[in-house]
């Protein structure tokens, strides 16, 4: 999943030192763990100078943040959906949920999450960067959908849009990712469509 993002879109049209750095960093993070990847090692693997790395990124944490942002951008979609009716809202939330759980189901996503969780205690800045890149935009996207639906009186805002977004994302994710992080299962979600439908219908019943 992470490599796919680096090989598509703008990067495919414009091969660059930045792309080589990100691609090499991803591979090295998996092989050695985040903390053990030095700029010297990354420069060798990416076939660039250390000066080139620092020209594009402030530090290794910034590289991790950029990798995470590129991949998780696919969850939110290219633009906000048009929401004028309850059916529009239901469709937008369902499509978002399917993208989210499909992303989380990828083996690369699960493994990358394990690497981050293991090293976050020793490197809080890295953990914060990953959290902000992976979760903040995702949460904001859903909250904006609910805010718009509230303005159109499609739903009743018994809580803030941020709180409703948090509730929905929690319903989407359930215990699947926790089980995957603990190696209890390899695939967090076995029936994505059904799980997403249950989560969306639950939220709409509460706030609709």
User: Has residue 107 got a pLDDT over 80?
Assistant: yes
Cα separation, 103 vs 10, in Å, equals 20
**Confidence at 136, pLDDT banded by 50, 70, 90:** confident
82 and 47 belong to one structural domain: no
131 and 29 belong to one structural domain: no
11 and 69 belong to one structural domain: no
Structural domain tally of the chain? 2
97 and 13 belong to one structural domain: no
200 and 137 belong to one structural domain: yes
Using one digit for the tens of pLDDT, what is the confidence trace for 162-202?
A: 999 999 999 999 999 989 988 898 899 999 999 999 999 99
Q: How buried is residue 52: exposed, middle or buried, by Cβ count under 10 Å (0-12/13-18/19+)? A: middle
74 and 33 belong to one structural domain: no
Average pLDDT over residues 56-61: 91
68 and 143 belong to one structural domain: yes
Structural domain containing residue 134 = 63-207
pLDDT score for 78 = 61
Using one digit for the tens of pLDDT, what is the confidence trace for 6-54?
A: 444 444 444 589 989 999 998 898 888 888 899 999 999 999 999 999 9
Lowest model confidence (mean pLDDT) among 83-87, 119-123, 155-159: 119-123
13 and 70 belong to one structural domain: no
Q: What's the CATH number where 56 sits?
A: 1.10.10.60
Cα separation, 189 vs 193, in Å, equals 10
Taking CB atoms within 8 Å and a gap of at least 24, the contacts of 56-62 are 56/17, 56/18, 56/21, 57/21, 60/25, 60/34, 60/126, 61/123, 61/125, 61/126, 61/129, 62/129
Q: How far is CA 81 from CA 91, 98, 126, in A?
A: 9, 15, 32
Cα separation, 51 vs 60, in Å, equals 13
137 and 184 belong to one structural domain: yes
99 and 164 belong to one structural domain: yes
Using one digit for the tens of pLDDT, what is the confidence trace for 73-106?
A: 777 666 788 899 999 999 999 999 999 999 899 8
Of 61, 91, 106, which residue is a domain's last? 61
Are 160 and 136 contacting, i.e. CB atoms less than 8 angstroms apart?
A: no
79 and 91 belong to one structural domain: yes
Of 19, 44, 61, which residue is a domain's last? 61
Q: What's the CATH number where 107 sits?
A: 1.10.357.10
């Amino acid at each position: 999943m992470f490599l796919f993002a680096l090989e598509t879109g703008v990067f495919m049209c414009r091969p660059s030192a930045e792309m080589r750095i990100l691609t090499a960093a991803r591979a090295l993070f998996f092989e050695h763990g985040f903390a053990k990847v030095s700029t010297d090692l990354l420069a060798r693997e990416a076939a660039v100078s250390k000066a080139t790395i620092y020209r594009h990124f402030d530090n290794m944490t910034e590289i991790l943040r950029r990798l995470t942002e590129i991949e998780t951008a696919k969850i939110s979609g290219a633009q906000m959906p048009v929401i004028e009716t309850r059916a529009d809202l239901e469709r937008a939330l369902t499509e978002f949920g399917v993208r989210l759980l499909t992303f989380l189901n990828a083996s690369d996503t699960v493994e990358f999450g394990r690497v981050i969780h293991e090293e976050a205690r020793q490197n809080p800045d890295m953990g914060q960067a990953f959290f902000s890149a992976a979760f903040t935009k995702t949460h904001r996207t859903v909250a904006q959908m609910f805010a718009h639906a509230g303005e159109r009186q499609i739903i009743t805002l018994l809580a803030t849009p941020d709180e409703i977004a948090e509730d929905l994302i929690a319903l989407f994710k359930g215990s699947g990712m926790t089980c995957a992080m603990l190696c209890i299962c390899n695939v967090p979600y076995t029936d994505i469509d059904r799980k997403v439908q249950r989560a969306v219908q639950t939220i709409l019943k509460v706030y609709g």
